[in-house]
Chains A and B, each alone.
Chain A
Amino acid sequence: MTTQTEYRSQLHHRQKELMVKWYERLNEAAETGEPPTVSMMISGNCVELLEGFSAVPIYPEVNALQLAIRHQSLEPILLAEELGYAADNCAYVKADIGAYLRGITPTGGKLPKPTLVLCNFVGCNTYLKWFEHVAEFTGAPLYTLDVPFMRYDEPTHADIEYVVKQLKELIKRLEDLTGRKFDYDRFKEAVRCSSEVENLWSRIKHLAKHSPSPFDAYFDAITLMGPLYVYRAKPEGVEFFEIALKELQEKVLNERDDGEREQFRVVIEGPPPYPHFRTFRDMFAKWNATAVASTYSTVGGLWEFGARHDPSTPFESVARHMLEHNVTNRNYLQRYDQIKKYVEDWNADGVIIHFVKSCRLFSAGQGDMRDYFTKTLGIPTLYIESDLEDPRYFSEAQLKNRIDAYFEALEHQKLSHRGIEERRN
């Protein structure tokens, strides 16, 4: 037990340090104008390119989720609604815009006006609107990097060429805006760091194949995702994920499968309800249910199936990453396949579909997804609804009932299976 506490505290400690350091850099940029900053989306981000300018990313999504998890999202959401945002707009955007106008930041420090607002359009149409609004409200210049959606299983040659050309235009734009020359070697080194981090992260994801899994690939994965986006292309990132992997490996060795700690293994689809993160998590903890995989943890990148950045073809690999190696730019049926693979290879008992009101990218069509998993594949699937940012849309009692009923049924099913097997023997 002591190892576990130590392990958790060290990992969390380092994570916190890194994130605080990041916000300090942003504060510095707000006060001194240096380093240059680029506002960017998490999905399919090209943080490697920023390294070529020693620029620091601003992730409005991270800010929004931090506000929600600290129970600070409602005030900015209400302010945004006063401005005209609809009750049914993505609440990430509302929280971000509201917080900007009110001067609220997750840490209380300052956030800079971005040198460039870079809309790396990777799947979500809301990104386009969101960043247009950020550009309008902050007065910062906007570059929309258009990434073709995955109409097929593989990107076409034209897709890759199109993204690479835009990456080069983006470099030119950043050279003009920062007055700095793009440092190609640094960029290449950043791509190399990323590939290492991806390797480590992928190995961590695969540890969840153990039973019990040393971590929860939904609720705990979120802790690891901050450094994954901000530091992926840096030596600090490599170091962080080395620590994380080592500790989780030790946990695998030290924990025996007594069948108690992990009664159910599930795959979770959809982002978490950040404003009620704890409460939601407890609903699963009560049943000793672990998420062994999740689609949400692949918004930034999908590496557990082998994809990596490649320093020998840095531009192309950044383009490929934006195109095909993140869940948001992959088509809906690819997501079905991803979840199916998780269930099979990570040996899960069922699927939880968390419908998020804000997020149509994830949610539009999840009823069809449920149909596929329950009817076509016969996998026990639970469909529940809430929101990732808006605290008003969370019906605790109802969620609890549905989750309890689901696990009760699963338990029943397991017991009767066991009964059949025992009788067979």
Chain B
Amino acid sequence: MEKLTERQNSNESSLSSSVPSVVSPSCEDVIPDLNFTTVRKWKDQHPGAKAIGYFPVYAPLEIIHACGMLPVGLNGAGDQLDIQYADARFGSFICSIVKTTLEMGMTKHLTPFDGLLFSTICDSARNLAFVFKRNFPEQYVDFLHLPHNPSSEASVDFLMSEYARLQENLEQLGGTKLTDAALNESIELYNENRRLTRRLYDERDGNPQLMRTSELYALIRAGNFLPVEEHTKLLKQAVDELPTRAGKQRDSIRVVIEGSFCEQPPVDLIKIMEEAGCYIVDDDFVLGPRWFTKDVSVNGNPMRALADAYSNASVYSSMPHDWRNPRHKQLIEKARRRKADAVILLIAKFCEPAYFDYVLFKQELEKEGIPHLLMEFEEKMFTFERLRTEIETFVESLLFD
């Protein structure tokens, strides 16, 4: 892989080098850790308790948590794993995360997990769930159908039944009963976590130089692995610390990143974008743990509250589907709200949902006169040179026009 260091050093003065990195080193360490050390540690501390891995994007974490289990967001293997087995199962034209996830399974990296959860994100991921079932017959593998018709009154009821089904399976797996009180408590915990995340994005919005996106990204992504209680502490710390930081403003454009909702780009790529002069003021990285646009209600039937939130307060993304407020309109709204100079459509290679959405995104961005750039990435990239040039040219054209 081509070295970043040189470039980084040369730019260091213009970046927010004075930012104290209390949070990020440990968070950055968690990301490439395919041994899931934090998960193993949690299991050691909670003998007998189960960990459930979920494939992006969304899973009802509250239900898993309220069953006394640790929900863990799977995000592929980055550049940490050579594919030996998965290529033969999922051939050409299939995105990387599907293959690396299966590869992790086949190389026993997923042994800390007592169950794996998939949902209706795309055709490749859905088939993956069943390939897992066949290859790991002992493993609890479940598939959630998250409804695609939120305009139907029946959709909340249906999702409740789907959640109830999950609950039953988890109860059986863990040997404990889920109570409404426990679920409400979990909802509160996750509400707080999401609230802090939203706040962090909002507060950084006015002063993006205070926290690099690569740092924020690591912090948010660590939430995939850590118990929510612990992660919330880190978020709180970051929120408190933000105003005390000193970051130098730089000549940068404000961009919104869209399209990396499932497979995650290499962190180096995010860094390159920042070095090239982008303040990434919003993004759709690691969307699962920050799925709801507002708090989930805790005054009533908690299962209904969760199902209702999914139908009516999900973040827009390539999944789910809600034509009441199409995602291409919402992207424009987001770009305007964040006063973005441009949108970068950052898409995983062979991610068909993102490819499709690109067409309407592009059309709408052009209609609205918002500059945009399309970039494709893979989990494992050997050179960033071409993308670096593309992004630099793009930024320059906007800065000096």
Contacts and interface: CB of A to CB of B under 8 A. Distances in A.
A126 interface: yes
Given A129-B356, A135-B323, A149-B143, A333 B134 contact: yes
Interface in A322-351: 331-333, 336
A373 to B, nearest CB: 12
Contact of B356 (A89, A121, A156, A333): A89
A97 to B, nearest CB: 8
A146 B149 contact: yes
Interface stretch (A157-165, A236-244, A250-258, A270-278): A157-165
Given A86-B358, A89-B355, A332 B127 contact: yes
Contacts of B134: 333, 336, 368, 372
A361 B355 contact: no
B110 to A, nearest CB: 17
A86 B355 contact: yes
A156 B163 CA distance: 13
B89 A365 contact: yes
B162 interface: yes
Contacts of A417: none
Given A121-B148, A132-B360, A162 B158 contact: yes
A52 to B, nearest CB: 19
Q: Of B89, B326, B362, which is in contact with the most chain A CB atoms at under 10 Å from its CB? A: B89
A367 B352 contact: no
Given A125-B352, A133-B360, A158 B145 contact: no
A54 B360 CA distance: 33
B122 A125 contact: yes
A151 interface: yes
A361 B123 contact: yes
Interface in B255-295: none
A222 to B, nearest CB: 22
Q: Indicate the size class of the contact surface on chain B.
A: 35 or more
A163 to B, nearest CB: 9
A365 B130 contact: yes
A166 interface: yes
Please classify the interface of chain A as helix (H, G, I), strand (E, B), loop, or mixed, using the class held by over half of its residues.
helix
A151 B131 contact: no
A371 interface: yes
A85 interface: yes
A156 B152 contact: no
Interface string A180-205: 00000000000000000000000000
Interface string A112-135: 000000000101111011101101
A159 B128 CA distance: 22
Q: Of B123, B149, B162, which is in contact with the most chain A CB atoms at under 10 Å from its CB? A: B123
Contacts of A86: 355, 358
Contacts of A364: 90, 94, 98, 123-124, 127-128
B131 A368 contact: yes
Nearest to A164: B154
B131 A365 contact: yes
B133 interface: yes
B301 interface: no
A4 interface: no
A125 B135 contact: no
Interface string A143-176: 0111011010000101101100110010000000
Nearest to A124: B123
A61 to B, nearest CB: 15
Contacts of A149: 120, 126, 143, 145
B56 interface: no
A37 interface: no
A144 B131 contact: no
A133 B357 CA distance: 9
Contacts of A84: 358-359, 362-363
B352 A162 contact: no
Contact of A367 (B91, B142, B143): B91
A281 interface: no
A132 B321 contact: yes
B1 interface: no
Nearest to A86: B355
Interface in B352-382: 352-353, 355-360, 362-363
A156 to B, nearest CB: 7
A158 B323 contact: no
B90 A125 contact: no
A360 B356 contact: no
A126 B123 contact: yes
A158 B91 contact: no
Interface string B4-23: 00000000000000000000
Nearest to B119: A149
A88 B352 contact: yes
A151 B158 contact: no
Nearest to B126: A149
A148 B155 CA distance: 11
A128 B158 contact: no
A360 B130 contact: no
A332 B356 CA distance: 23
Interface in B12-37: none
A145 B149 contact: yes
B71 interface: no
B91 A366 contact: yes
B56 to A, nearest CB: 14
A166 B90 CA distance: 35
A316 to B, nearest CB: 15
A309 interface: no
B400 interface: no
A133 B359 contact: yes
Interface in B58-103: 87-94, 98
A142 interface: yes
Interface in A361-388: 361, 363-368, 371-372, 385
A146 B153 contact: no
A357 interface: yes
B165 interface: yes
A23 interface: no
Contacts of B358: 84, 86
A245 to B, nearest CB: 34
Contacts of A360: 93-94, 122-124, 127, 352
Contact of A129 (B120, B152, B357): B357
A145 B120 CA distance: 15
A363 B161 CA distance: 30
Interface of A: 83-86, 88-90, 93, 121, 123-126, 128-130, 132-133, 135-136, 142, 144-146, 148-149, 151, 156, 158-159, 161-162, 165-166, 169, 331-333, 336, 355, 357, 360-361, 363-368, 371-372, 385
The 7 tightest CB contacts between A and B, nearest first, are A158-B161, A332-B130, A129-B356, A146-B149, A165-B154, A86-B355, A162-B158
26 contacts: A83-B363, A84-B359, A85-B355, A86-B355, A90-B352, A93-B356, A125-B122, A129-B353, A132-B360, A133-B356, A144-B321, A144-B323, A158-B162, A162-B155, A162-B157, A162-B161, A165-B153, A331-B130, A332-B130, A360-B127, A364-B127, A364-B128, A365-B89, A365-B130, A366-B91, A368-B90
Given A84-B363, A132-B326, A357-B92, 5 more contacts: A83-B363, A125-B126, A129-B357, A145-B149, A360-B127
